[in-house]
Structure 1
Amino acid sequence: MHSNDVQELLDRAAITDVLYRIARAMDSKDWDLLAAGYTEDAQGDYVNAAAGGRAEIVEGTRAFLGPLDATQHAVHNIEVSIDGDTATTHATMTAQHVRGEEQFLLGGTYDDTFRRTEQGWQISNRRIRGLWSTGNPAVLTVPVS
């Protein structure tokens, strides 16, 4: 195995870890951990919103997930393509959202662009698309009684 092969494996593992840490950060409402996964100038293109910059991504995520009683984001089938100090990933995801007795489950995709920074690999662009859902979508927008 050549040193380039070893570096690619290390990079793939580091990139995958960022995806898992971001999911954990959202579920634990650890906004500092979430911020660490994004570059300062990161862009977000979400199912129903867009965000420009790390601060706006974190604040938007906090506003969206903060009122919920629980969430569980699972990242699956991660594909990584590395080109020097940039990389792209495509992954499927499921995201469970709970408020009171009501639940909303979303399945979709994360398409991310990463950049190698002094802090390690970070997302510079995230695109989230929903492919299917089940449950009560009002869980995401209004308190359910």
Structure 2
Amino acid sequence: MTLDDRATITDTVVRMGWYLDRRDWDGLRGLFTEHVFTDYTDLWGGQPREGTVDQLLSTTAQGSWRRTMDGLEATQHLITNVLVDVDGDQARATANVLGVHRLTNPHGSPLWTVGGTYDFGLNRTGAGWRIQAITYRISWVDGNQQVLFRAAMAAAAEAA
């Protein structure tokens, strides 16, 4: 593994949080492979998902990032302590993540905060390192989880 690989992979996974918080959907799209595996079952239950990056960032798909994030007033995702392992054109990166989600609502605190770890699978492509898979492992939660549910409902109503 070269230092350039390590730096580029670290930059890619950190940019994911940066772009998400700024709702930079084109920037996010550029960080992923065309097909993406996501596993948030530790947080939401259900099953891991596989689909296109466009489905992940859709305004209408159930469980899509954009559908939920567009309904929030603000978020801040801090992705830190990135550890990288490279094997040829494949890489794994693990990182701590702290996500703060804000939405004023009539049913409790406007904040929902979650801490945990990400495990990323990345592929080297002609355009550079791209995220192919994300698994989230929860460590702790604080606040009002209704913030995310209300944001998803508001975004879905707006998209309809």
Q: Deviation per CA, 1:48-70, whole angstroms, max 9, x where unpaired?
A: 26342211111211011110000
In the TM superposition, 1:21-100 aligns within 5 A as 21-46=15-40, 47-48=43-44, 50-59=49-58, 60-100=64-104
Q: Deviation per CA, 1:83-130, whole angstroms, max 9, x where unpaired?
A: 111100111100000002600100011101100001110011111122
> Is 1:113 aligned with 2:121?
yes
RMSD across aligned C-alpha pairs, in angstroms?
Answer: 1.4
TM-score (norm 1): 0.89
Separation (CA, whole Å) in 1 of partners of 2:57 and 2:28: 7
Q: Which runs of 5+ in 1 are unaligned?
A: none
8 A contact 2:35–2:50 mirrored in 1: no
8 A contact 2:17–2:78 mirrored in 1: yes
Provide the secondary structure at the position in 2 that maps to 1:20: helix
TM-score (norm 2): 0.81
Select the structure that is richer in strand.
1
Letter of the 1:32 counterpart: D
Q: Which runs of 5+ in 2 are unaligned?
A: 59-63, 152-160
Letter of the 1:19 counterpart: V
Q: Which segment is superposed worse, 52-61 or 89-98?
A: 52-61
Structure 1 residue runs of 4 or more that deviate by more than 4 Å after TM superposition: none
Letter of the 1:87 counterpart: A
Q: Number of residue pairs matched? A: 137
Separation (CA, whole Å) in 1 of partners of 2:50 and 2:137: 15
Separation (CA, whole Å) in 2 of partners of 1:61 and 1:120: 23
